[in-house]
């Protein structure tokens, strides 16, 4: 097969990584999607894939497309997604070197990834049902704080505090740490796939150090006083025996520590973005709120369509181990490929009316919003549960929901690494014939 010269994306690195483009990247990436399955960014060792079938292939091919983050260093520096030498030295000095996150399952290939994944899947899937009642109670508590009608920033009122409360309860940490959780998460993700100042990198390092210190103390306390919360379960996993079926060794203390940091950031920030998106979709799609109220069976489909249209994580990077072909184009070994989830999920070759939310769409879960392959998001069941609860409760408790003006939605943290919605100001009316406290959990 004759190999073609890879086309260069008609967008600069600075534009691609800018907040302005990432607020609404669909037109620019849509042009790439129509043009070719893969594009090089400038003359950099960086390639973008935007078509559904290609993105799906890359995500499922861990043999050629690696997640081992320790391999990305030189390429990230060439792109501009790494700290300067001075910032790096300062990061190490403050004790929050982001290199410590090399060991988490998000940044590992098999067999290390397989062992960690089995451990975390066992912890999460076995306990998700225990959190449903807590999530319902939290949603209702937050809604009851709102006046009967008016305007409110629903990021501040619901999308931010709900996941923070849930992850704090799951981890088993006190309410006094809830404020710190959001601060740590925001500061940490601020450097995700964006051009950052030295100050941003150093602040992220300090946040990582604060989280590490906090969870080290929590883990050591649970080793002395076991508990059934997530910190306690991971602490116990560090002193277990090898698994008799798989031969997996126990999780070591450093792995447990980094796993907790990952779960805190991912469980909080990504779910905040998902909840914000489902609220936005309920507000801007005429008749959707009433349709869901009249047919609760639509709730899961609305959530899946929201994930498809705006995954909380817009893209993810893979490291190309050796020269690899993508639809006739050779991607050189040692390059980075960015898998553009959100554009793949709007591929007209895969979806009719790809930019529209359609809760009646066939095979509604056939999207890449939670990834695919061995790195499919392990927290997806919990994220779906929180989002479904919000859609169900809001549709029952509100008679009206709409955007409060042209500047109602702001994406001040939008990047290629996180969707970044920060404000969602909505006009609302609560139903006078239904009060949250009158309904049983899960009703």
Is 123 domain-assigned? Answer: yes
User: How many domains would you assign to the chain?
Assistant: 1
How many helices, marked H, and strands, marked E, lie in the chain? 19, 11
CATH number at residue 239: 1.10.630.10
Which residues have C-beta within 8 Å of that of residue 113, sequence separation ≥ 6? Answer: 62, 67, 105, 374, 375
Alpha carbon of residue 160 to chain centroid:
14
Burial classification of residue 73, based on how many CB atoms lie within 10 Å of its CB (0-12 exposed, 13-18 middle, 19 or more buried): exposed
- Please give the average pLDDT of every successive group of 10 residues along the chain, which has 443 residues: 82 94 94 96 96 96 87 83 89 68 71 79 68 93 95 97 91 85 86 90 90 93 92 86 71 86 83 96 96 97 97 93 92 95 95 96 94 89 94 96 96 92 96 66 51
Kind and range of the H or E element at 402?
strand 398-403
Is 55 domain-assigned? Answer: yes
Query: Under a CB-based contact definition with an 8 Å cutoff, are residues 217 and 440 in contact?
Result: no
Give one word for 420, left, alpha or beta, with left for phi > 0 and alpha for psi -120 to 50. Answer: left
Cis peptide before 26 (omega within 30 of 0): no
Q: Can you give the residue range of the structural domain that contains 191?
A: 13-438
What's the CA gap between 149 and 98, in Å, rounded? 45
Q: Is the torsion defined by CA of 412, 414, 418, 419 positive or negative? A: positive
The pair of three-digit structure tokens given for residue 373, joined into one six-digit string: 């392959």
A 10 A CB-CB count for 60 gives 15
Is 426 domain-assigned? Answer: yes
**b/e sequence 322-332, b meaning 16+ C-beta within 10 Å:** eebebeebebe
Task: Tell me how far CA of residue 434 lies from CA of 41, 142, 295, 427, in angstroms.
Answer: 53, 15, 17, 19
Query: Under a CB-based contact definition with an 8 Å cutoff, are residues 231 and 260 in contact?
Result: yes
pLDDT at residue number 443 = 46
Which residues have C-beta within 8 Å of that of residue 38, sequence separation ≥ 6? Answer: 6, 7, 47, 48, 49, 54, 326, 327, 329, 331, 337
What's the CA gap between 412 and 422, in Å, rounded? 6
Pairing between strand 336-340 and 46-49? parallel
Query: Under a CB-based contact definition with an 8 Å cutoff, are residues 421 and 410 in contact?
Result: yes
Dihedral angle at the C-alpha atoms of 325, 331, 332, 334, nearest 10 degrees? -110
Q: Distance from first CA to last CA of the chain, Å, rounded?
A: 59
What's the CA gap between 249 and 256, in Å, rounded? 13
Is 112 domain-assigned? Answer: yes
pLDDT at residue number 263 = 83
Is 5 domain-assigned? Answer: no
Is 7 domain-assigned? Answer: no
pTM: 0.92
Kind and range of the H or E element at 47?
strand 46-49
Scanning 318-408, the segments in alpha helix (DSSP H) are 341-344, 380-397
Query: Under a CB-based contact definition with an 8 Å cutoff, are residues 193 and 81 in contact?
Result: yes
């Amino acid at each position: 097969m004759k190999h073609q010269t890879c086309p260069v994306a008609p967008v600069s690195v600075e534009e691609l990584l800018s907040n302005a483009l990432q607020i609404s990247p669909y037109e620019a990436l849509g042009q790439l999607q129509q043009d070719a399955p893969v594009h090089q960014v400038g003359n950099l060792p960086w390639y973008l894939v935007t078509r559904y079938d290609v993105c799906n292939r890359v995500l499922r091919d861990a043999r050629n497309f690696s997640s081992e983050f320790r391999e990305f260093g030189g390429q990230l520096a060439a792109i501009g997604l790494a700290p300067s030498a001075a910032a790096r030295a300062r990061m190490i000095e403050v004790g929050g070197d982001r290199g410590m996150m090399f060991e988490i399952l998000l940044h590992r290939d098999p067999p290390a990834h397989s062992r960690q994944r089995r451990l975390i899947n066992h912890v999460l899937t076995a306990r998700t049902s225990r959190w449903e009642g807590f999530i319902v109670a939290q949603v209702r508590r937050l809604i009851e704080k709102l006046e009967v009608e008016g305007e409110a920033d629903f990021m501040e009122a619901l999308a931010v505090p709900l996941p923070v409360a849930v992850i704090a309860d799951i981890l088993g940490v006190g309410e006094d740490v809830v404020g710190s959780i959001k601060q740590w998460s925001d500061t940490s993700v601020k450097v995700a796939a964006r051009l950052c100042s030295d100050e941003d990198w150093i602040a992220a390092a300090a946040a990582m150090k604060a989280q590490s210190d906090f969870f080290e103390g929590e883990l050591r306390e649970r080793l002395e006083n076991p508990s059934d919360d997530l910190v306690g379960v991971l602490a116990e996993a560090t002193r277990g025996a090898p698994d008799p079926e798989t031969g997996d060794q126990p999780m070591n203390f450093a792995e447990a520590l980094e796993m907790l940091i990952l779960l805190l950031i991912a469980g909080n920030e990504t779910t905040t973005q998902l909840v914000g998106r489902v609220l936005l979709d309920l507000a801007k799609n005429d008749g959707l709120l009433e349709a869901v109220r009249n047919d609760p069976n639509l709730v899961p489909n609305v959530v899946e369509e929201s994930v498809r249209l705006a995954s909380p994580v817009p893209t993810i990077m893979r490291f190309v181990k050796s020269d690899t072909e993508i639809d006739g184009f050779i991607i050189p070994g040692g390059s980075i490929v960015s898998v553009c989830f959100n554009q793949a999920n709007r591929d007209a070759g895969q979806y009719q009316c790809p930019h529209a939310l359609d809760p009646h769409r066939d095979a509604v879960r056939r999207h890449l919003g939670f990834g695919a392959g061995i790195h499919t998001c392990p927290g997806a069941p919990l994220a779906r549960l929180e989002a479904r609860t919000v859609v169900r409760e809001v549709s029952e408790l509100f008679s009206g929901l709409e955007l409060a003006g042209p500047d109602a939605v702001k994406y001040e943290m939008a990047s290629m690494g996180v969707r970044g919605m920060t404000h969602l100001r909505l006009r609302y009316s609560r139903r006078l014939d239904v009060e949250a406290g009158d309904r049983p959990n899960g009703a």
